[in-house]
Amino acid sequence: MIRAALARLWNRLGDAVAVEDPEDRIEGSGEVYLDPAYNGRYEGERDIQRLSDADDERKE
């Protein structure tokens, strides 16, 4: 009885931590996905750098 209960518990734990085959579970377009918050920050920093470079060129 205890052995059967432990076997069921072991099976449940095994199912809980089992990992699916990555080839079967990953679907999508294959394009890189960037977090919108991170991407917005990156674009903002790039725009600031572009404006700073343009200002430096204007001063020269």
For residue 40, the enclosing domain spans 34-60
In a domain, 55, yes or no: yes
In a domain, 47, yes or no: yes
Joined tokens for residue 48: 């600031």
Confidence of residue 8 (pLDDT cuts 50, 70, 90): very high
Task: Map residue 39 onto helix, strand or coil.
Answer: helix
Rounded Cα–Cα distance for residues 27 and 32 (Å): 13
In a domain, 44, yes or no: yes
In a domain, 51, yes or no: yes
Question: What distance lies between CA 16 and its chain's CA centroid?
Answer: 22
In a domain, 58, yes or no: yes
User: What is the residue type of 34?
Assistant: L
Rounded Cα–Cα distance for residues 42 and 9 (Å): 48
pLDDT at 22: 66
Long-range contacts of 39-45 (CB under 8 A, 24+ apart): none
The pLDDT mean for the chain works out to 81
Total domains in the fold of the chain? 1
